[in-house]
C-alpha cells in the first residue's frame, strides 16, 4: 500500500493522545457512572435563539452552495466585531470562514509554513497543534511555558529558539490547557521579535470570551505595527456553546487572505449558508451564555484549588480563563498518564494526562471545569481520597 509523507508525519498524532478519554467513553457505554473531566464541552446547551436561526435559514432555502470566502453577511459582522475590539480598520476582505477553528488553523498553517520551515509554539500546547504544523511539512519547535511565569510564553525564550528556518510563531491566548492570558507587554515583546526576524504570528483566540474577572485580554491584531503579519483564528464553539456547528474563521492581511483563498476553496468551497446565517446572528448579538460560563468555570477552578491544596499534596494551577485547570500530581510518584488511568480505574473520574499537551506536563493532568457542580464536587472528593493512599505510602 502506497501512502504519502503526510500520513507518516501525522502517525501517532491522532486518537493516540485521547486514550483515557476513550477508555472513559467505553466504560460509560458499558453502563458505568464515570465523571468525565477530559473534554472541553460547554456546560450549557446551544442557545435556542441560535437553533431557531439555523432552522429558519434552512426553511428559507439557505441550503445551496456558498461563497468560498464565506457568506458576506457573516464576514461583515466579523469585520465590525474585530474593528470594534481592536480599534483597527478591519474589512470583510480580511476574513475567510471555515468549519471551526481547527480547519482554520490547518489552512493558515499551510499558508505560512512548509517543508524546511519551523513553527515556534509554547509547550504545553493544544493537542492538535503538532499535527497542523507537521501536516504543512514544517517542524515544530517547542518553547517551554514555565509555571513560575504563570505558563505565559516569554519573548526571550522564543527568540532563543529562532533559526533561519523559522517562519511563524503560533500563540494561544487564552491558553489551552493552562488558562494563561498574555498581557499587552507580552504581546508587544513578541511582536518586536516577529518584526525583527520577519515571522508570521498566528493567534488562536477561541477562548477570548471566557476570560475571568480582573484579567485583561490582549491580541496582536490590535497592534498597528503587526498588521501585515498577524492572523487570528477563532470560532463560536466555546463562546456560544456551539461546538457541533463547526463555524470558525481567520482574520489576516488582505494579501494573505487572497493568497489562501484557493487553498480554502480546494478544501471545502465555503461553509453552509444556514450555519453562516446563525453565526452572523451570534456575532452581531454577542453571547448570552459566555458570562455564566465565565463565572462557573472561575468558581470551579477556585474550589478545585482550595480543596486540593487544603486536603492533598496535589498542586493546582489556577487558570485566568477557559475551561480547564492543571493539577501537578508528582506527589503521587506517578506520571500524568499513569495517574489518569489509575484515577479512572479506582475512582471513576476521567482526566486528561498532561503529556497529551506536551512533554513539559509529564507529571500534570488537565481537569475540565465543565461538569455540573454536584459532579464536580464529587470528583474533588474522589481525587482527594485517591491521593490519600499515596500520602500514606510516603508517611
| Structural domain count of the chain | 2
In terms of Cα–Cα distance, which of 170, 135, 347 is closest to 365?
347
Distance (Å, whole) CA 298 – CA 296: 6
In terms of Cα–Cα distance, which of 32, 39, 42 is closest to 17?
39
Distances (CA, A) of 66 to 74, 97, 246, 253, 259: 12, 11, 16, 22, 19
| Same domain (yes/no): 158, 86 | yes
| Same domain (yes/no): 99, 38 | no
DSSP labels, 5-22: HHHHHTTTSSGGGGHHHH
| Same domain (yes/no): 250, 295 | no
| Same domain (yes/no): 200, 314 | no
| Same domain (yes/no): 127, 18 | no
Full residue range of the structural domain in which residue 309 is found: 5-45+289-394
| Same domain (yes/no): 247, 320 | no
| Same domain (yes/no): 306, 220 | no
Q: What are the pLDDT tens digits along the chain (395 aa)?
A: 889 988 889 887 766 678 898 999 999 899 999 999 998 889 999 999 999 999 999 999 999 999 999 999 999 999 999 999 999 999 999 999 999 999 999 999 999 999 999 999 999 999 899 999 999 999 999 999 999 999 999 999 999 999 999 999 999 999 999 999 999 999 999 999 999 999 999 999 999 999 999 999 999 999 999 999 999 999 999 999 999 999 999 999 999 999 999 999 999 887 899 999 999 999 999 999 999 999 999 999 999 999 999 999 999 999 999 999 999 999 999 999 999 999 999 999 999 999 999 988 999 999 999 999 999 999 999 999 999 987 655 54
CATH number at residue 16: 3.90.1150.10
The cell for 214 is: 480582573
| Same domain (yes/no): 224, 336 | no
| Same domain (yes/no): 248, 336 | no
| Same domain (yes/no): 250, 293 | no
pLDDT confidence of residue 172: 97
Give the predicted TM-score (pTM) of the model: 0.94
CATH number at residue 160: 3.40.640.10
pLDDT confidence of residue 392: 58
pLDDT confidence of residue 270: 79
pLDDT confidence of residue 16: 64
pLDDT confidence of residue 395: 45
In terms of Cα–Cα distance, which of 88, 97, 110, 122 is closest to 226?
88
> Cβ(20)–Cβ(344) under 8 Å?
yes
Last residue of a domain, one of 256, 285, 314: 285
Distances (CA, A) of 312 to 206, 292, 327, 341, 387: 33, 29, 11, 19, 6
- Other CB atoms within 10 A of residue 154 CB: 17
pLDDT confidence of residue 393: 55
Amino acid at each position: 500500500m502506497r501512502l504519502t509523507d503526510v500520513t507518516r508525519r501525522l502517525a501517532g498524532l491522532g486518537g493516540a493522545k485521547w486514550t483515557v478519554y476513550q477508555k472513559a467513553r467505553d466504560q460509560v457505554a458499558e453502563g458505568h457512572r464515570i465523571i468525565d473531566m477530559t473534554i472541553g464541552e460547554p456546560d450549557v446547551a446551544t442557545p435556542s435563539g441560535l437553533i431557531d436561526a439555523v432552522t429558519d435559514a434552512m426553511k428559507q432555502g439557505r441550503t445551496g452552495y456558498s461563497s468560498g470566502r464565506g457568506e458576506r453577511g457573516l464576514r461583515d459582522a466579523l469585520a465590525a466585531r474585530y474593528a470594534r475590539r481592536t480599534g483597527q480598520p478591519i474589512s470583510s476582505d480580511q476574513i475567510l470562514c471555515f468549519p471551526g477553528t481547527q480547519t482554520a488553523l490547518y489552512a493558515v498553517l499551510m499558508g505560512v509554513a512548509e517543508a524546511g520551515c519551523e513553527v515556534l509554539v509554547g509547550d504545553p500546547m493544544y493537542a492538535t497543534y503538532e499535527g497542523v504544523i507537521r501536516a504543512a511539512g514544517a517542524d515544530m519547535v517547542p518553547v517551554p511555558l514555565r509555571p513560575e511565569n504563570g505558563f505565559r510564553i516569554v519573548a526571550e525564550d522564543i527568540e532563543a529558539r529562532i533559526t533561519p528556518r523559522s517562519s511563524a510563531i503560533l500563540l494561544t491566548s487564552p491558553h489551552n490547557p493552562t488558562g494563561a492570558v498574555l498581557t499587552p507587554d507580552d504581546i508587544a515583546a513578541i511582536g518586536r521579535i516577529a518584526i525583527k526576524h520577519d515571522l508570521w504570528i498566528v493567534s488562536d483566540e477561541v477562548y477570548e470570551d471566557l476570560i475571568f474577572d480582573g484579567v485583561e485580554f490582549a491580541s496582536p491584531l490590535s497592534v498597528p505595527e503587526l498588521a501585515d503579519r498577524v492572523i487570528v483564528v477563532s470560532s463560536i464553539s466555546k463562546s456560544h456553546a456551539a461546538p457541533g456547528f463547526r463555524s470558525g474563521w481567520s482574520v489576516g492581511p488582505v494579501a494573505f487572505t487572497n493568497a489562501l483563498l484557493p487553498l480554502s476553496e480546494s478544501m471545502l468551497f465555503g461553509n453552509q449558508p444556514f450555519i453562516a446565517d446563525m453565526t452572523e446572528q451570534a456575532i452581531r448579538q454577542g453571547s448570552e451564555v459566555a458570562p455564566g460560563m465565565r463565572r462557573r468555570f472561575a468558581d470551579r477552578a477556585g474550589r478545585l484549588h482550595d480543596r486540593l491544596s487544603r486536603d492533598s499534596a496535589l498542586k493546582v494551577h489556577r487558570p485566568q480563563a477557559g475551561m480547564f485547570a492543571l493539577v501537578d500530581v508528582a506527589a503521587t510518584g506517578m506520571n500524568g498518564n499513569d495517574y489518569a488511568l489509575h484515577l479512572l480505574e479506582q475512582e471513576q473520574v476521567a482526566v486528561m494526562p498532561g503529556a497529551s499537551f506536551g512533554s513539559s506536563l509529564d507529571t500534570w493532568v488537565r481537569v475540565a471545569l465543565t461538569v455540573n457542580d454536584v459532579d464536580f464536587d464529587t470528583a474533588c472528593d474522589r481525587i482527594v481520597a485517591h491521593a490519600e493512599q499515596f500520602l500514606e505510602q510516603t508517611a
